[in-house]
Amino acid sequence: MKYPNLNPNFSELDPDLSSQDPAKFFGYRVFSRWMASDQAWCILRRFGALNMRAMLYLQDDIVALEERLDRMDENLSSKHMPEGIDNGTFRKDYAPRQELIRKELIPKLKEYNDFVNQYSQLLSRPPVDEGDVEAVHTWFKNHRARVEDGSGQKTWSYAIDPAESAFIEKREDLIPVYPKTRSWFRTVLEKTALLRFPILGGFLQREPEDIGIIGDSQFNRKKGLLKNGLLDRFFQRKPQDIEHSGASQSNGKMVIWHNEKRVERFASTVIAVVGLAMLIGPLWILESLSDPPEKLGVITGFIVLFFVLVGVATAAKVFEALVAAAAYSAVLMVFLQFGQ
């Protein structure tokens, strides 16, 4: 296909044009930038079955070389061989055996070892987050439109060819390129509307560098929502997954780019406030109680609550949560002694 001269200054997408033909005006130019805008969406296939097949193939090649070397060793160790054969030296070794080891076995072993080591790194990656997979799937779904072909018939135009976007359906074979560590509390923040609250949204969200290419800022402008100062903060993260097929915009989903540092700082602040309350609260409650069983009941309740909060609100392991709960229980016992 002969392409026309391209305009080097072309950067931002015209939503009216892109809705007419997503394959032309979106394509990999937009999709690759969209995936790169957040590490959570950098999702690829592991190709587990193919990698295993390739490793088995390399393994069999090495086994065949091993069998050849064994046969050669047996022949050279036979009593029927002439005198002067020395199997205890590399320097004066039988030339064909040297060639087999140096030119065939060593390169094949290196290829095999490198392959296995690289694949082991892929296997060590955690499973992809279902929400991140769904975000990529939604991008494919929403960036399509029915367009007229040369004969005037309506056909589907996809930003990414369906055969090439089908990889996202292989859920069990997907891996994150760079896994994003999320605590349970961080996951809750992302799945709730808290991070999209007007006041918090403007502080905890970010705008990717390629927003003019991957975002559709015209969507909010057409709706007239950006004229409201409060809503401007709420919608300043340009809607990403907008339905370009002429369907109702209410069916389109929004993708939010979180400012990682600020979200983590916010989560840490919330956890710190809750932790401070867990320290101060028992002081006042124990001071108001006189019955020892009631005091022990309060201490037991706070210890259990603390253990649960550490386990679910942070990325701590169970053992680490138990150690923290033990330290917290010691502090509460000091409070109890102080009250007495």
Last residue of a domain, one of 59, 92, 123: 123
Residues 32 and 136 in one domain: yes
Last residue of a domain, one of 123, 145, 163: 123
pLDDT at 265: 74
Q: Which residue has the higher pLDDT, 256 or 4?
A: 256
Based on the domain organization, do 140 and 226 belong to the same domain? yes
Pairing of strands 174-176, 43-45: antiparallel
Tell me: do 32 and 82 sit in the same domain.
no
Cα angle value 201/195/248 (rounded, 5°): 80
- DSSP SS3 for 148: strand
Q: Are residues 242 and 287 in the same domain?
A: no
pLDDT for residue 221 is more than 50: no
Given this model, what pLDDT does residue 248 score?
Answer: 28
Range 161-169, long-range pairs (CB < 8 A, 24+ positions): 161/23, 165/140, 167/44, 167/45, 168/43, 168/133, 168/136, 168/137, 168/140, 169/137
Q: Are residues 231 and 171 in the same domain?
A: yes
Q: Is the pLDDT of residue 134 over 50?
A: yes
Q: What is the pLDDT of residue 202?
A: 54
What is the chain's mean pLDDT, rounded?
74
**209 domain residue, yes or no:** yes
The pLDDT value recorded for residue 167 is: 94
Whole-angstrom Cα distance, residue 169 to residue 201?
31
Inside any domain, residue 303: yes
Tens digits of per-residue pLDDT, 280-327? 888 788 778 878 788 888 888 888 888 888 877 666 778 888 888 888
Residue 5 covered by a domain: no
The pLDDT-based confidence of 63 (bands split at 50, 70, 90) is very high
DSSP assignment, residue 253?
A: B
Alpha carbons within 13 angstroms on the beta-carbon side of residue 105 total: 15
Bigger pLDDT: 5 or 81? 81
Whether 24 and 53 map to the same domain: the answer is no
Which of 123, 143, 170 is the endpoint of a domain? Answer: 123
Partners of 205 in beta bridges: 258
For residue 59, tell me if it sits in a domain: yes
Residue 325's SS3 state is helix
Q: What range does the domain containing 73 cover?
A: 47-123
Q: Which is nearest to 21 in space by CA: 219, 156, 115, 127?
A: 156
In the numeric block, which tokens belong to residue 285? 């409650």
DSSP state of 12: S
**What is the tally of structural domains in the chain?**
3
Residue 179 placed within a domain: yes
**Residue 227: its pLDDT value, please?**
38
Same domain, 144 and 287: no
The reply to whether 54 and 71 lie within a common domain is yes
Q: Is residue 7 part of a domain?
A: no
- Is residue 10 one of the residues assigned to a domain? no
**Least confident residue range of 59-68, 163-172, 213-222:** 213-222
The token pair that represents 12 in the structure block: 């931002």
Chain segment 229-287, per-residue pLDDT in tens: 443 443 333 433 333 332 323 334 555 555 666 666 777 777 788 888 888 888 788 77
**Pair 291, 325 in one domain:** yes
Please check whether residues 214 and 150 belong to one and the same domain.
yes
Burial 23-37 (b: 16+ CB within 10 A, else e): bebbbeebbebbbeb
Q: What percent of the chain has pLDDT over 70?
A: 67
- Asked whether residue 142 falls in the same domain as residue 246, the answer is yes
User: Is there a domain that residue 2 lies in?
Assistant: no
Residues 26 and 142 in one domain: yes
Query: Which is higher by pLDDT, 51 or 314?
Result: 51
Closest by CA to 316, choosing from 328, 300, 299, 298, is 328
